[in-house]
């Protein structure tokens, strides 16, 4: 079998892979992460949210460090102070803009316009920051995208998705994947991503159909329940009947959320598969993602239900469960010798990474 000819994750069974096929893995556990999570939550509450910046650092260091490729985990180097300063800058800017808009009514739209204008720049800064504080085998990542590309990928793409009622969502996803993936660097070498539209539209269509099926089943169950109880309800007073009508309206809203949520989860899995599987590193090394859309959707929905039923206490277990599934279905096909590739990256990255230490800047939360 020639591994380089594989076109999807499923086409490379574990028993047949050659030495250049390598799966990611996630080594964390829900019990271990719970200790980090509960401390983060308590300290964030006690400090009125200030500690959330350091909580983000602890969380990312845990998840990055437990994401393993070739027996080595990734590293996250940001500091809580950097994240806190970035958030304070954004918050301060919004406060000033809203004060101006309040004092000068003619400028009421100023905060909204300022956010639209600043958002692409904030996105670029956020992507660059997150890349530069991430490393693998002591080699730093970098992001070189510009503001114009961010505007197209995140602002224009989002607007087209809304205007088209979701029909142009695959185009927006393609722009975003191409912008982020093709502007990422590692050890001075470039990534390149250009996902095709066909699998994205296929994922959108299947997701929409599955969401509709879920909605129809949920509606049938709810309507059947109301019909079974309607004879008894007709003998009740008007207040109770009005309450039942409100309950029916609320149930309809839940059905809409189920349809939309299920469709989006299906589509999200399809987007990840398409984007990762269209990604190349240094023009020759390939990535593969083989998430099952149904399995991914089930994990996401069951995680949400378990988290709600346990009042949030099972959130760490849910986060680890999703991370493990996602990374265990992600792989990389290395062209040539892995040892030579790692050696080259470490030699180039030692010089490039040192330059980033003093220029990481602040995380603006985008």
Q: Is residue 223 part of a domain?
A: yes
Q: Bridge-partner residues for 348, per DSSP?
A: none
Task: Give CA–CA dist 126/90, Å, rounded.
Answer: 12
Write down the pLDDT at residue 15.
Answer: 40
Q: Is residue 326 part of a domain?
A: no
Assigned token pair, 174: 């393609």
Q: Is residue 245 part of a domain?
A: yes
Write down the pLDDT at residue 97.
Answer: 80
Q: Is residue 204 part of a domain?
A: yes
- pLDDT by residue for the chain (366 residues), tens only, comes to 334 434 444 444 444 444 478 899 999 999 999 999 999 999 999 999 999 999 999 999 999 999 999 889 999 999 999 889 888 888 888 888 888 878 877 777 777 788 788 889 989 999 999 999 999 988 889 999 999 999 999 999 999 999 998 899 999 999 999 999 999 999 888 999 999 999 999 999 988 887 777 777 777 776 666 666 655 555 555 565 566 666 666 666 677 777 788 889 999 999 999 999 999 998 889 999 999 999 999 999 999 999 999 999 999 999 999 999 999 999 999 887 777 777 776 676 555 444 444 445 556 555
Full residue range of the structural domain in which residue 247 is found: 196-269
Write down the pLDDT at residue 323.
Answer: 97
Q: Bridge-partner residues for 25, per DSSP?
A: 68
Q: Is residue 151 part of a domain?
A: no
Q: Is residue 308 part of a domain?
A: no
Q: Bridge-partner residues for 217, per DSSP?
A: none
The residues near 12 (Cβ < 8 Å, ≥ 6 apart) are 3, 6, 21, 288, 331
Write down the pLDDT at residue 338.
Answer: 72
Q: Is residue 208 part of a domain?
A: yes
Q: Is residue 229 part of a domain?
A: yes
**Number of domains, the chain:** 1
């Amino acid at each position: 079998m020639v591994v380089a000819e594989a076109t999807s994750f499923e086409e490379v069974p574990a028993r047949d892979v050659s030495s250049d096929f390598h799966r990611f893995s996630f080594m964390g556990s829900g019990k271990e992460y719970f200790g980090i999570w509960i401390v983060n939550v308590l300290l964030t509450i006690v400090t009125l949210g200030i500690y959330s910046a350091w909580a983000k650092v602890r969380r990312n260091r845990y998840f990055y460090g437990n994401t393993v490729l070739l027996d080595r985990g990734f590293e996250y180097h940001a500091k809580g102070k950097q994240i806190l300063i970035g958030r304070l800058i954004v918050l301060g800017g919004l406060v000033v803009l809203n004060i101006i808009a309040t004092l000068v009514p003619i400028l009421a739209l100023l905060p909204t316009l300022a956010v639209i204008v600043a958002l692409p720049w904030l996105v670029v800064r956020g992507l660059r920051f997150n890349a530069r504080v991430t490393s693998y085998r002591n080699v730093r990542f970098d992001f070189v995208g510009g503001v114009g590309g961010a505007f197209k990928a995140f602002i224009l793409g989002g607007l087209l998705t809304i205007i088209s009622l979701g029909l142009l969502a695959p185009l927006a996803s393609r722009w975003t994947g191409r912008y982020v993936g093709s502007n990422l660097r590692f050890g001075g070498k470039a990534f390149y991503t250009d996902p095709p539209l066909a699998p994205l539209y296929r994922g959108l269509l299947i997701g929409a159909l599955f969401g509709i099926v879920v909605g129809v089943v949920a509606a049938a169950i709810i309507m059947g329940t109301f019909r079974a109880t309607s004879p008894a309800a007709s003998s009740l007073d008007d207040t109770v009947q009005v309450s039942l009508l409100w309950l029916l309206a609320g149930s309809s809203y839940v059905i809409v959320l189920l349809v939309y949520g299920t469709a989006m989860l299906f589509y999200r899995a399809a987007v990840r598969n398409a984007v990762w599987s269209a990604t190349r590193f240094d023009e020759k090394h390939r990535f593969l993602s083989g998430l099952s859309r149904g399995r991914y959707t089930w994990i996401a929905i069951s995680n949400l239900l378990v988290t709600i039923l346990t009042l949030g206490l099972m959130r760490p277990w849910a986060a680890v469960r999703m991370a493990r599934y996602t990374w265990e279905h992600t792989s990389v096909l290395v062209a040539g010798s892995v040892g030579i590739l790692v050696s080259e990256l470490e030699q180039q990255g030692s010089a490039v990474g040192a330059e980033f230490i003093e220029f990481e800047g602040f995380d603006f939360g985008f």
